[in-house]
C-alpha cells in the first residue's frame, strides 16, 4: 500500500498581503474601507492578474493600493513576482533525495526560488515535531515504508505509528505555519 503526500505551493504577492494584514484585520476589511472590489485585490495578491495594463502602464487599482500605503507601485508590485511561470507536475522522491536536492539557481532562477521555498516550508513545518514524529512522516511518505517497517525501526507497534502519523498530519493541517506558508496536505489512501 502506497500513500501520497501532496504538497501544493502557492506563490502570492506576500508584500501586498503583508502590508494589508499589517494594517487591517482582513483583506475584505481593507477592500471595504478603501472601496476596492475584493475579487480584484485577491487577483493581484494571488497573481491571477498583473498590476499592468496591456500597454504596460499601471492599472489604476495598483496605483491606488500603493497610495494607501504611501509606497510606489514598484515597491508593492515587484515585476519579478508576476513573471514567474506556473508549473505543475508530479515527481516521486525519497526524503534523502529531496533533502539533498541541489538546484542550480543560474539555470532556472524561478524554479530555484519555488523549490527552495517548498523545501524550506516542509522543513520548517516538520521542525515543530519531535524526532520520532519526523521519522514517521519521512519514512511513511518520502520512503514509502509500511506501518510495520516504521514500527520495527522505532520499537513500537504499528498501531502506534498510525496514531503518530494521524496526529502529525492533523497538527500540520491546523498549524499556522502550514497555513501561512501555503502548504496544504491531501492524504489519499
> Which CATH number belongs to the domain containing residue 143 in this structure?
1.10.10.10
Say whether 163 sits in a helix, a strand or coil.
Answer: helix
57 shares a domain with 24:
yes
Domain membership flag for residue 130: yes
Domain membership flag for residue 158: yes
126 shares a domain with 77:
no
Domain membership flag for residue 3: no
Range of the domain at 94: 90-188
Domain ends where: 82, 108, 141? 82
Domain membership flag for residue 145: yes
Annotate 90-104 with b (16+ C-beta within 10 A) or e (fewer): eeeeebeebeeeeee
Domain ends where: 31, 58, 82? 82
Residue length of the chain: 189
117 shares a domain with 78:
no
Domain membership flag for residue 49: yes
Domain membership flag for residue 7: no
The pLDDT value given to residue 171:
85
Domain ends where: 31, 48, 82? 82
User: How many structural domains does the chain have?
Assistant: 2
Domain membership flag for residue 2: no
Strand partners, 155: none
75 shares a domain with 125:
no
What is the C-alpha separation between 47 and 38, in angstroms, rounded? 14
Dihedrals phi, psi of 50, to nearest 5 degrees: -85, 160
Helix axis angle, 14-23 to 38-45, nearest 10°: 130
The pLDDT value given to residue 18:
87
What is the C-alpha separation between 141 and 17, in angstroms, rounded? 32
**Tens digit of pLDDT per residue, the chain (189 long)?**
445 555 555 667 888 888 998 999 888 999 999 999 989 998 888 877 888 888 889 999 999 999 999 999 989 988 766 665 555 555 444 444 444 444 455 555 666 665 666 666 677 777 888 889 888 887 887 678 889 998 998 899 999 999 999 998 888 777 776 665 443 343 333
Amino acid at each position: 500500500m502506497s500513500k501520497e503526500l501532496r504538497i501544493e505551493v502557492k506563490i502570492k504577492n506576500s508584500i501586498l498581503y503583508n502590508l494589508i494584514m499589517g494594517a487591517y484585520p482582513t483583506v475584505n476589511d481593507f477592500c471595504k474601507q478603501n472601496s476596492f472590489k475584493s475579487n480584484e485585490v485577491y487577483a493581484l495578491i494571488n497573481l491571477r492578474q498583473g498590476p499592468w495594463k496591456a500597454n504596460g502602464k499601471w492599472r489604476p487599482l495598483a496605483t491606488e493600493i500603493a497610495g494607501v500605503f504611501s509606497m510606489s507601485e514598484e515597491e508593492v508590485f515587484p515585476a519579478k513576482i508576476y513573471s514567474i511561470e506556473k508549473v505543475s507536475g508530479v515527481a516521486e522522491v525519497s526524503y534523502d533525495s529531496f533533502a539533498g536536492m541541489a538546484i542550480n539557481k543560474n539555470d532556472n532562477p524561478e524554479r530555484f526560488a519555488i523549490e527552495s521555498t517548498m523545501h524550506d516550508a516542509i522543513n520548517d513545518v516538520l521542525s515543530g515535531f519531535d524526532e520520532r514524529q519526523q521519522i514517521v512522516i519521512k519514512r511513511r511518505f518520502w520512503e514509502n515504508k509500511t506501518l510495520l517497517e516504521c514500527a520495527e525501526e522505532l520499537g513500537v507497534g504499528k498501531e502506534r505509528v498510525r496514531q503518530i502519523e494521524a496526529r502529525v498530519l492533523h497538527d500540520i493541517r491546523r498549524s499556522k505555519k502550514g497555513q501561512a506558508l501555503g502548504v496544504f496536505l491531501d492524504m489519499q489512501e
